[in-house]
Amino acid sequence: MRTAHAEAAPARIRQTGAMGLLFFLLFLAALLLTGCSDRLEAERSYFCPMHPEVTGSKPGDCPICGMRLVEREGRTSGADHAGGAGRQEAGSEKALPPQILADRAPVAIPARHADWVDLRTEEVVVRRIVREVRASARVVPDERRLHRVTARAGGWVEALYVNASGQAVRKGDPLLRLYSPEIYSAEQEYLIARRHQEELARKEIPGASAAGSDLLAASRKRLELWGVPEEEMRRLDREGKAEKTVTLSSPASGFVAEKNVVEGQKIEAGEPLFLLSDLSKIWVEADLFEADAPLVEVGMEAVLVLPSLPDRSFKGKVRFLNPFLDPSTRTLRARIELSNPDFLLKPGMLGEARLRRDFGEHPAVPEAALLKTSQSALVYRQNEEGRLEPVEVETGVAGGGFVRVIRGLTPGDRVVTSGNFLVDSESSLAGALRSASSPGRGE
């Protein structure tokens, strides 16, 4: 029995060793297969057929046109990875690279195809660029032409000559007749002082005449400070009799905007009675958008148009810009002053203010010619051979449908103004084919 067990032990040892070797070989093969799969996945490359500059190592969508990325045929070599480090990865938030022109190529559009897509070109010329700013506006009274009428002494309104709001008055027109015990007493004191001064002048007493004159002047000044008109003072001197009532006259021409008094009312000194508004010149308040505010300056000409007067326009000038922006509407208020001799403009009217900012003469292209990217703008210029080539341009101010060209074009160049999106697609496709056919690409 001991001999049988001794012979079986080496056999079990050999069997166990064979099993361990088999498991080790299987584990090593799994590692090799996993490494190869990862390497093959890492060598895959995807690109956008319309924008070849957009590449990625994983499937996704083009951030420019939204087209699904397709796998590049063949495997990307390490050199391709190094050379494509500057390309935009799909799904990344980086802006388009400045060298976007390298992925486009000049194209030639046959004449018959140009008619189908309405392809048009226009010459770059030097033109005056004028930007028009439009803003909602409303007509308001000129605050400098408002007159508040008050009585400087208390009393009772005996008669009211202006008895309705909106009534037109002229400077010097009577507004009301006021009985004021204070003014009546002051007039009597003035007459007494005048008689006293005359008596002292006749007696020829040294210094007495001067004292009487001072008293008379003080009495007269008191009446003037109470607002007694000059006409009433001349009547006192002429008739020598105090009147029970005094007439309150209009200090300016205009319209009655407010009326706070009725006949028979007792009024106090300083109480507001009328508000007169001179509408021969009015204000227009225009609310400028925050982006348009830097274009408007004091002294700039403005035109007011009203839906209620479609055949008329009113010219004025900007006289004031509010230093504070309205936080609720994000607008800046501009004040425009206009003459209103015919009183056609009524406070409360709503309209539109139009202001024109002149930027001078510059080389310019139509706005429709520009294809804007995240960092720059492109146009397609017609070269001497008739081919359309992409050109990166630097632009400035815009106005009237044209944009100033600072760099990239010169007067006399012809640029595409209609059908340029189709031209851009053709140019991108030509650039992609050129890249694919270059040595080292797609191999």
Assign residue 316 the CATH number of its domain: 2.40.30.170
Would 395 be classed as within a structural domain?
A: yes
CA–CA dist 54, 92 (Å, integer): 10
Q: Which of 220, 283, 281 is nearest to 252 (CA)?
A: 281
- In this structure, the answer to whether residues 376 and 416 fall within a common structural domain is yes
SS3 content of the chain, % helix, strand, coil (to 5): 30, 35, 35
Q: Domain holding 167: CATH number?
A: 2.40.50.100
pLDDT of residue 439: 58
CA–CA dist 435, 439 (Å, integer): 9
Q: Domain holding 392: CATH number?
A: 2.40.420.20
Q: Structure tokens of 402?
A: 């044209």
pLDDT tens digits for 98-114? 456 667 888 888 877 77
Q: Structure tokens of 423?
A: 């031209």
pLDDT tens digits for 404-430? 999 999 999 999 999 888 888 888 888
Q: Structure tokens of 55?
A: 């590449």
At 287, which amino acid appears?
D
Would 181 be classed as within a structural domain?
A: yes
- In this structure, the answer to whether residues 165 and 266 fall within a common structural domain is yes
Q: Structure tokens of 182?
A: 């204070």
Instruction: Answer whether 388's CB lies under 8 Å from 120's CB.
Output: no
In the beta sheet, which residues pair with residue 245? 179
Task: Find the domain containing 284 and state its range.
Answer: 134-142+279-357
Instruction: Answer whether 55's CB lies under 8 Å from 47's CB.
Output: yes
| Torsion from C-alpha of 314, 320, 324, 325, nearest 10 degrees | 20
pLDDT of residue 2: 47
Give 32: exposed, middle or buried? Use CB within 10 Å, 0-12, 13-18, 19+.
exposed
pLDDT of residue 66: 67
- In this structure, the answer to whether residues 156 and 250 fall within a common structural domain is yes
Using alpha carbons, list the distances in angstroms from residue 98 to 59, 88, 435: 25, 11, 18
pLDDT of residue 25: 53
pLDDT of residue 30: 52
pLDDT averaged over every residue in the chain: 82
- In this structure, the answer to whether residues 155 and 213 fall within a common structural domain is yes
Residues 6+ apart with CB under 8 A from 84: 45, 55, 76
CA–CA dist 213, 199 (Å, integer): 11
Torsion angles phi and psi, residue 435, rounded to 5: -65, -40
pLDDT of residue 225: 87
pLDDT of residue 64: 67
138 HSE (CA, 13 A, CB side): 6
What's the sign of the alpha-carbon dihedral 210, 214, 215, 220? Answer: positive
For the sheet with 88-89, list strands across it.
Answer: 70-71, 46-47, 54-56, 88-89
Last residue of one domain, picked from the residues 249, 276, 303: 276
pLDDT of residue 93: 35
Q: Which of 129, 130, 131 is nearest to 406 (CA)?
A: 129
pLDDT of residue 20: 55
- In this structure, the answer to whether residues 138 and 286 fall within a common structural domain is yes
Residues of the chain whose pLDDT is less than 50? 1-9, 13, 28, 31-42, 74-98, 441-443
pLDDT of residue 207: 67
pLDDT tens digits for 2-53? 444 444 445 554 555 555 555 555 554 554 444 444 444 445 777 776 666 6
